[in-house]
Amino acid sequence: MPPVRYATPQIAIHWLAAILIILLLATGSQVLADLPNTAEKIGNLRIHMILGVLAGILVIARVILCKRLPALPAVHGEIFARLGHMALNLIILLLVFSGAMLMLQSGALEALFGSAALPADFKEFTPRRIHGLASRAAMALIALHVLATLYHQFIVKDGLLARMRIGSNKIGRQS
């Protein structure tokens, strides 16, 4: 019998990654992007980079788990769900990749872990433009993902949210 809900590690990874990614999108666009590239910015950038890499590792772990574990029963609009989940994972990996490229190309890595100064402005580097655009695409995809969840929960009424619920619940017990 196929499982009725995601496995505990998948649920833990989903919510941990969701919190991290929403935090990175909010602080990246509202704080980091507006700060001048002075020495005071280095601490912020360090946290952003470490959390960003962690989000990337969680996404890779979730893709591996998804391939290894048995699939859940198909939902209404399964093809859209699959494409949507794939797009979410890909856009996060693009963010991590473009962020890493930006650090390398701009020489900021030496500023973060050595004694070099930050570049005058990140905006002149192509990976920065890709990172900025990808962050907006990620925001739009996440909004769509949440709307799709609400659509399933309240219009299709298939109890989709319970498949990703934290804690034990009745539908989680496999007989």
* Closest approach of ligand HEM to the CB of residue 70, in Å: 13
Between vectors from CA 22 to CA 139 and to CA 103, what angle results, nearest 5°?
85
State the Cα–Cα distance between residues 162 and 30, nearest whole angstrom.
32
Q: What angle do CA 120, 123, 124 make, to 5 degrees?
A: 80
List the x/- string, 17-56, binding to ligand HEM by CB under 6 A.
Answer: xx--xx-xx--xx--xx-----------x--xx--xx-x-
Question: Would you call 152 helix, strand, or coil by DSSP?
Answer: helix
What CA–CA distance (Å, rounded) separates 60 from 89? 8
Residues 107-136 that bind ligand HEM (CB under 6 A): 108, 122, 128, 131-132, 135
Residue 50's identity, in one-letter code, is I
**Distance set, CA 161 to CA 8, 44, 64, 151 (Å):** 14, 34, 22, 11
Contacts of 33 (CB under 8 A, 6+ apart): 132
> What minimum distance in Å lies between the beta carbon of 161 and ligand HEM?
5
Question: Does the footprint of ligand HEM cover residue 62 (CB under 6 A)?
Answer: yes
Could you say whether residue 93 binds ligand HEM (CB under 6 A)? no
Interface with ligand HEM (CB under 6 A), residue from 7, 85, 144, 172: 85
Q: Which listed residue (7, 75, 90, 130) binds ligand HEM by CB under 6 A? A: 75
Please answer whether residues 59 and 93 qualify as being in contact, where contact means their C-beta atoms are separated by less than 8 angstroms.
yes
- Contact between 92 and ligand HEM (CB under 6 A)? yes
Q: Provide, rounded to whole angstroms, the least separation between the CB of residue 141 and ligand HEM.
A: 7
Write out the residues near ligand HEM by the rule CB under 6 A.
Answer: 10, 14, 17-18, 21-22, 24-25, 28-29, 32-33, 45, 48-49, 52-53, 55, 62, 66, 75, 81, 85, 88-89, 92, 95-96, 99-100, 102-103, 108, 122, 128, 131-132, 135, 138, 142, 145-146, 149, 160-161, 163-164
